[in-house]
Structure 1
C-alpha cells in the first residue's frame, strides 16, 4: 500500500524531502514504517524516542496500523519560548 510521509523541521533536513510516497505491506504499523525509514535514513532513528507521529492529522502511537493512502506526519518535539 502507498503511504504519504511528511517530514517537518530537522527531519526534513535529514531526509532532504518535505514529503515522499512510501510503499508498505498491508497490515503494517507506524513502527514498521519507521523501521523502514530508519534503514533508508539512519540519522532519523536518533529522534525515535521523542518523535511525534500523526496519521491523517491525528497523533498516534507506534502500534497504530496504517491504511492505504494514509498521510503520516513525522515531527520532532515542539519547542517554544
Structure 2
C-alpha cells in the first residue's frame, strides 16, 4: 500500500511541476505558445488558462492527499 501511494505521489509531483511550467507568466510562458495567449493581453484569461488552473488545483489536492497519507502510513 505504501509503495502504491509513493508511486502515485511521484506521478502527481511530476504532473504538478509540468502543469506549473505550462502556466503563462509575465512573458507568456509555454501556455501562450500552445494557444493560451490567442486572445491578447486585453481579453482577460482564456478558457485554456482557466482549465489549466483548475487541473493544477486538482493535481495539487491529490498531491497533498497522498502526502498526508504517506505521513500517516510511514
TM score, norm. by length of structure 1: 0.24
Relative to the length of structure 2, the TM-score reads: 0.25
* Structure with the bigger percentage of strand: 1
Work out which of the two has the higher radius of gyration on C-alpha atoms and give 1 or 2.
2
Structure 1 or 2: larger helix share?
2
